[in-house]
Amino acid sequence: MSRLFLVTALTLGAHAACAHEFWIEPEKYQVETGENIIADLRNGQQFEGIDLAYFANRFSRFDIAIGDQMAPVEGRMGDSPALQVSLPGEGLVIAVYEETPATVTYTEWDKFIAFAKHKDFPDAIADHEAAGYSKEKFTETYTRHVKALIALGDGEGEDHAFGLETEFVALTNPYAEDFNGEMRVSVQYREAPRPDAQVEVFDRAPDGTVTVSTTRTDDEGNAVIPVTPGHEYLPDAVVLRPAEGAGSSETAPVWETLWAALTFAVPSR
């Protein structure tokens, strides 16, 4: 029990301290029919991060879907990898995860300025100042809304919206036989398209080299991600909005961020 408490404390401490990318990382993006689907939950930067174990109080939703079938991911507290399932049949498997809210406290104004610039929130600084929020110490609430695309057997099928507060929806299937090398995605917020939203894309080559680029969604909330066979991808898009009850007390969170992410790989053909 003491060992479990230590693992829990370390995991939650790391979770609270990190406000970077969060993603589902499959052990294999292409799985043979009948083979287990195994994936880690990861938090970090530049497509490198720590492994987070299965803890039911950490998520509001953790599902696995194939075709028109969907079921919650069942695990034991402390399981690592967090996703370990066996599914019948074959097709495009979609893992879906929504995190419970966590908080990060800013004690350096320059770090918030850097974050707002990095994630393309040009009005955030002026809005913060206009609201009279403290620059010395303030709190942000954040949640993660992530999906992963995994091919089971032939990997055929389509992604769709799962009703996450914000999410990526893959408009093309990188594992399909007719994939033309153009990965198109829709970025959504409250089940509506997000036009002119920044998408940051992490591209990991087979040798582990990671490159980072940005693109933007069009007027319909869609974006095209350039891809290379044999590479893995992690696009993310962030929503920044005033926290509920912002300014109601000195300790109330003033901002809320919602992080959408999608992981997939492009097979070498």
Q: pLDDT tens for residues 153-172?
A: 999 999 999 999 999 999 99
- pLDDT tens profile 246-258: 988 888 999 999 9
Query: For position 111, what pLDDT does the model report?
Result: 96
List alpha helices for the chain, DSSP H.
Answer: 2-17, 109-118, 124-131
- Ranges assigned E (strand) in 18-137: 21-26, 30-31, 37-45, 48-52, 59-66, 69-72, 83-85, 91-99, 102-106
User: Which tokens in the block code for residue 96?
Assistant: 């879906």
- Tens-of-pLDDT digits for all 269 residues of the chain? 333 333 333 333 333 334 489 999 999 999 999 999 999 999 999 999 999 999 999 999 999 999 999 999 999 999 999 999 999 999 999 999 999 999 999 999 999 999 999 999 999 999 999 999 999 999 999 999 999 999 999 999 999 999 999 999 999 999 999 999 999 999 999 999 999 999 999 999 999 999 999 999 999 999 999 999 999 999 999 999 999 999 888 889 999 999 999 999 999 97
Q: What is the pTM of this model?
A: 0.91
Pick left, alpha or beta for residue 119 (phi over 0 → left; psi -120 to 50 → alpha; otherwise beta): alpha
Supply the pLDDT for residue 3.
37
Q: Is 38 exposed, middle or buried (0-12, 13-18, 19+ CB in 10 A)?
A: middle
Write 169-174 long-range contacts (CB < 8 A, 24+): 170/262, 170/264, 171/222, 173/92, 173/149, 174/149, 174/227, 174/264, 174/265, 174/266, 174/267
* Backbone phi and psi for residue 153, each to the nearest 5 degrees, phi listed first: 65, -120
